[in-house]
Copies of this chain bind each other. A is one copy, B any other.
Amino acid sequence: MRQRLSVETYTKGVLAGDRSTLSRAITVMESSLPEDRKLAGAILQNILPYTGNSVRIGITGVPGVGKSTFIEAFGSYLTSLGKRVAVLAVDPSSKQSGGSILGDKTRMEKLARDPDAYIRPSATNLSLGGVARHTREAILLCEAARYDIVLVETVGVGQSETLVKGMTDFFLLLMLSGAGDELQGIKKGIMEMVDAVAVNKADNGNEPAVTNAVAEYRQALHLFPETASKVPVQVVACSALENTGMELIWNLISDYFAQTTKSGFLEQNRQFQRIEWLREQIRQSLEDRFYENEWVQKHIASADEAVRNGEKLPEDAAGELIEMFLRSGNAFNG
């Protein structure tokens, strides 16, 4: 393992916007080793007052929709406006495929060389809960490093959309024309999460189909209930390949940000997200403490055995183990 720096070095480097220190700090966040978690907590505590100042944008869409090309085009447009842009990826599937680490950067060549952009590929070998925690922490670090816009890309596998929705201010769905939403493998419920739909690949003679798709999605969205933000969901066309629609998309995000700042929804939503994060953290820490407990470790095998054989009900076995765990609390942790 690469050597860790001091809390002060991480803090100063991140606050100075140093990309190399930022990367090393995010690596600390990705670790679940107890000493790294302690270090992570100390760094986060220091930078916490400097967080919360970015526009957090979640971006999703099925494979093939052109997410990387879009982020390259959109990110470059934003840096051309003088914005500093960070790109994070949430890809719980990379555990299996393992191919995303290099993938992200090579697919965003131009943005990767842009001094005002920071691209952090997906961490591998993390549970969904692990991905959730460290991505939230990475957002805070990027904000402390004065990135104005944080783009969180998700591959849309399993529950990753819900996860990204829960840590961003604005959720953008990329779609293709020439296919119903179901045909694109879009999971039920995702349309209810989005703040905008961008129909990509309005290029190479595909423009009329995209125009039709935009009209269809607009129509379809009328059937959905009003969003919590009360800002109507926008549907626009774009071409990541030809760099069109980027200004339009940024304008609608800016408008959304202005409206929800004024209405108070933006801050309400962030407060809600922090509480949700706390609840998840409690759930995770309770389980960690339980399974690390000496008494539990000593007795869980026989409990498992009785349940496995159908001799004991899971609820009874769980109850006994938890009683044991709680009684041992003072002895081991007090």
Instruction: Give the interface of A toward B (CB within 8 A).
Output: 37, 41, 44-45, 48, 51-52, 133, 157-158, 180, 182-185, 187-189, 270-271, 274-275, 277-278, 280-287, 289-290, 303-304, 307-311, 313-319, 321-323, 326-327, 329-330, 333-334
Inter-chain contacts of A290 with B (CB < 8 A): 282, 286
A311 vs B133: C-alpha distance in the bound complex, in angstroms?
17
Inter-chain contacts of A278 with B (CB < 8 A): 303-304, 307, 314, 317-318
Instruction: Give me the 6 closest cross-chain CB pairs, A-B, nearest first.
Output: A329-B329, A281-B318, A326-B329, A278-B314, A277-B314, A286-B286
Count the copies.
2
Q: Which residue of B lies closest to A313 (CB)?
A: B44
B318 & A282 in contact (Cβ 8 Å cutoff): yes
Q: Which residue of B lies closest to A287 (CB)?
A: B283
Q: Which residue of B lies closest to A271 (CB)?
A: B308
A322 vs B288: C-alpha distance in the bound complex, in angstroms?
11
Q: List, sorted by A's number, 18 A–B pairs whose CB atoms are closer than 8 Å.
A: A45-B313, A45-B316, A52-B310, A187-B187, A274-B307, A274-B310, A275-B308, A277-B307, A277-B314, A278-B304, A281-B314, A281-B318, A282-B290, A285-B319, A286-B290, A326-B330, A326-B333, A329-B329
A289 vs B308: C-alpha distance in the bound complex, in angstroms?
24
Q: Looking at the complex, which one of B37, B322, B327 makes contact with A330 (CB distance below 8 Å)? A: B327
Most buried by B among A271, A282, A285: A282
Inter-chain contacts of A330 with B (CB < 8 A): 326-327, 329-330, 334
Nearest Cβ in chain B — how far from A229, in angstroms? 18
A48 vs B309: C-alpha distance in the bound complex, in angstroms?
11
Nearest Cβ in chain B — how far from A315, in angstroms? 5
